[in-house]
Amino acid sequence: MKNWWKILTVIVMFYVIFQGLLGTVPRQPILNESIRNLYFHVTMWFAMISMLLLSVIYSVRYLRSNAIQDDERSAEFAKTGILFGVLGCVTGSLWANFTWGEPWPNDPKLNSAAVGMLIYFAYLLLRNSFEDEQRRGRISAVYNIFAFAVFVPLIFVLPRLTDSLHPGNGGNPAFSSYDLDNQMRLVFYPASIGWILLGLWITQLRYRLKAVHRKQLENLAERPLERINS
C-alpha cells in the first residue's frame, strides 16, 4: 500500500493533538499547563529544520542536474519549512507570554529565529524576481544553500554562547533533564514524527498541484500550434 505513511500521519496527529490537549503532564513551577506547548512549538521546529534540509538537498541536486523538477521540489520544501517556522514563532510567542510575561522578550534565540525567518522570506522574494526558469533556479539554489548554512548556527549555536531564557541555552538546563518524563516522551517523539510526515504530505500536494498547473500551461501553449497545423 503506497499511501500507508499518510494513514500513519493522520493517526499520529490525532493522537498528538488529543494527548497534547487532554493528556496528563508534570506540574512544574511557572510552566504549569503551558508545558503542553512542547508537543507543538518544539516539534514544529524539528519539522521546519527537516523541510529546509530537504530543500537544500534538492537545491544541490538541481545545481548538478538542471532539472526543473528538482528546483520546484526545493522551493516547495522551503515554503513548507517557512510555514512551520512561522507556526513555531506563533506558538513560541504564546508560550513566552504565559511563562515569561511577554510574547517577545529580548531573547537571543527569539531574535535569531526572527532573523532566520527574514532570510527565508528574502528567498521567496528572490524567486519571484526572475522570469527565466534556469536563472531563477540556479540563483535560488545557491542562496538557499547559504541561507541554511547561516540559519542553523543562528538558532542552535549562537543562543548557546550567551544568556538565553530558552531551556538548554545560556546555561539553562534542557527540558529532558528535569521535566520531560517518560509519559511526555510517549507524545513528544510521535509528535516530532507526525509533524515531519505532515510536512512531507503538504509539500507533495503542493508539488503535484504545481505540476498539474504546469501541464495545463503546456497544453494551452500547444493548442495554437495544433490549429496552425490543421
Count CB atoms within 10 A of the CB of residue 47: 27
Mean pLDDT throughout 17-35?
80
Mean pLDDT throughout 117-137?
93
User: Does residue 95 contact residue 37 with C-beta atoms inside 8 Å?
Assistant: yes
- Tell me which DSSP letter residue 91 carries: H
Between CA 135 and CA 144 the distance in angstroms is 14
DSSP per residue, 6-55: HHHHHHHHHHHHHHHHHS-----TTTGGGGGGGGTHHHHHHHHHHHHHHH
Residues 6+ apart with CB under 8 A from 75: 55, 127, 140
pLDDT exceeds cutoff 50 at 178: no
Distance of CA 105 to the CA centre of its chain: 23
Rg of the Cα atoms in the chain: 21
pLDDT exceeds cutoff 60 at 168: no
Q: Is this prediction's pTM over 0.85?
A: yes
- % pLDDT > 70, the chain: 86
Q: Name the residue with higher pLDDT: 107 or 230.
A: 107
User: Does residue 28 contact residue 179 with C-beta atoms inside 8 Å?
Assistant: yes
Between CA 62 and CA 134 the distance in angstroms is 10
Between CA 13 and CA 19 the distance in angstroms is 10
Mean pLDDT throughout 146-159?
91
What pLDDT digit, counting tens, does each position of 35-49 carry? 888 899 999 999 999
Residues 6+ apart with CB under 8 A from 66: 134, 137
What pLDDT digit, counting tens, does each position of 30-80 carry? 667 778 888 999 999 999 999 999 999 999 999 999 999 999 999 999 999
What pLDDT digit, counting tens, does each position of 101-119 carry? 888 888 888 889 999 999 9
pLDDT exceeds cutoff 60 at 162: yes
What pLDDT digit, counting tens, does each position of 190-220 carry? 999 999 999 999 999 999 998 888 788 777 7
User: Does residue 188 contact residue 39 with C-beta atoms inside 8 Å?
Assistant: yes
User: Does residue 7 contact residue 14 with C-beta atoms inside 8 Å?
Assistant: no
